[in-house]
Amino acid sequence: MPSEAKARLGQALETVMSRPEVQDKLKSIGFEPAYARMDDWTAFVTNDISRMREVATRSQIRAD
């Protein structure tokens, strides 16, 4: 994704997630509202994929 698009998306998400009505709605359906910057989220997902790949390899799990 182009960096400009990521920046715009990140800003829009930050704006929306800061709205009390959005947080209240998320809480009402069982979510704990939180916002992570795009760079932090990307790092989290990248790390999680690596970790899960290792678990799948050790467990001999395959996607058929």
Number of structural domains found in the chain: 1
Distance CA 23, CA 64 (A): 39
Instruction: Provide the token pair at 11.
Output: 């800003």
Tell me the per-residue pLDDT of 3-57, one tens digit each, with 9 for 90 and over. 899 889 989 999 999 999 999 999 999 999 988 888 888 899 999 999 999 999 9
State the pTM of this model: 0.59
CA atoms lying within 13 Å on the CB side of residue 7: 3
Domain membership flag for residue 64? no
Domain membership flag for residue 27? yes
Instruction: Provide the token pair at 10.
Output: 């990140």
Instruction: Identify whether the C-beta of residue 62 lies closer than 8 Å to the C-beta of residue 54.
Output: no
Q: Which domain holds residue 51?
A: 3-59
